[in-house]
Amino acid sequence: MADEWMYTVGGILVAMIVIVISYQLVSSSIRQMQAQNFNSEFTDLYTDIDSFCLQEIGTSNIYNFDVPYSVRIIYATNDTENPLPTVSDKIQNKEISIGDNLCFQYKAEQEIRCAELNCNISMPYLGALETYNDFRLFVNKILGKPLSKTYTLKVTKFLEGVAVETGFGATEGKSCSSDTPCSYEASYCWSQISPNDFTCHITCGPAGSYSLNSYSCCSKDRDSTSSACIDSTTTIPSGGTTSPPIPEPEFTILFIQLQSSINNFNQKTQAAKDKWVAITPLSSCPENVKTIVVEDKVCQVPNQDDVCKGRDQVIYDTIDDIHSCANSWGYTGLYTRVVGVLPGDSVCKLGNGYVGGYTTLYADWVVSAEDTIMIVCTHEMAHTFGLCDEGYSNIQESSCPSGFCAGASDCKKMGPCQYCCPNRPEKDSIMCSSDLCSRGCTFNESFAPSSYTHLVKELNRYCGG
Residue 181 confidence (pLDDT):
62
Contact 402/429 with Cβ under 8 angstroms? no
* H or E element at residue 189: strand 188-191
Q: Give me the CATH code for the 247-384 domain, please.
A: 3.40.390.10
Give bridge partners of residue 368 from the DSSP assignment. 341, 357
Distant-in-sequence, close-in-space partners of 38: CB < 8 Å, separation ≥ 6: 66, 67, 68, 70, 71
CA distances from 94 to 3, 214, 277, 334 (A): 64, 30, 50, 44
Contact 222/260 with Cβ under 8 angstroms? no
Strands 337-342 and 348-350: unpaired
CA distances from 418 to 27, 201, 204, 454 (A): 43, 12, 10, 18
What are 332-343's pLDDT values in tens digits? 888 999 999 999
Mean pLDDT on 257-273: 95
Reference 424, options 384, 381, 458, 453; nearest CA is 453
Give bridge partners of residue 126 from the DSSP assignment. 74
How far is CA 12 from its chain centroid?
63
Residue 234 confidence (pLDDT):
38
| Higher pLDDT, residue 105 or 2 | 105
Q: Collapsing DSSP states into helix, strand and coil, what is residue 224?
A: coil
Over 70: is that where the pLDDT of 1 sits?
no
* H or E element at residue 100: strand 96-106
List, by residue range, all CATH 3.40.390.10 domains of the chain: 247-384
Residue 167 confidence (pLDDT):
58
Instruction: Mean pLDDT check: name the lowest of 56-60, 363-367, 394-398.
Output: 56-60
Reported as a pLDDT band with limits 50, 70 and 90, residue 226 is confident
Residue 136 confidence (pLDDT):
46
Half-sphere exposure of 8 (CA within 13 A, CB side): 5
Mean pLDDT on 307-326: 84
Instruction: Mean pLDDT check: name the lowest of 111-120, 275-284, 374-383, 391-400.
Output: 391-400
Residue 86 confidence (pLDDT):
86
If you average pLDDT over every residue of the chain, what do you get?
A: 78
Question: How many C-beta neighbours within 10 Å does residue 171 have?
Answer: 14
Over 80: is that where the pLDDT of 415 sits?
no
Mean pLDDT on 179-205: 74
Instruction: Mean pLDDT check: name the lowest of 3-17, 237-251, 313-327.
Output: 3-17
Residue 6 confidence (pLDDT):
41
Q: Phi and psi dihedrals of 50, rounded to 5?
A: -65, -35
> How large is the C-alpha radius of gyration of the chain?
28
What are 137-157's pLDDT values in tens digits? 444 443 444 556 767 788 888
Over 80: is that where the pLDDT of 453 sits?
yes
How far is CA 462 from its chain centroid?
30
**Total residues belonging to the chain:** 465
Reference 223, options 234, 212, 236, 232; nearest CA is 236
What are 422-451's pLDDT values in tens digits? 999 999 999 998 888 888 999 999 999 999
Give the integer Cα–Cα distance in Å for 251 and 456. 14
| Higher pLDDT, residue 310 or 279 | 279
Reported as a pLDDT band with limits 50, 70 and 90, residue 18 is very low
Mean pLDDT on 400-404: 88
Residue 182 confidence (pLDDT):
64
Contact 447/279 with Cβ under 8 angstroms? yes
Contact 117/313 with Cβ under 8 angstroms? no
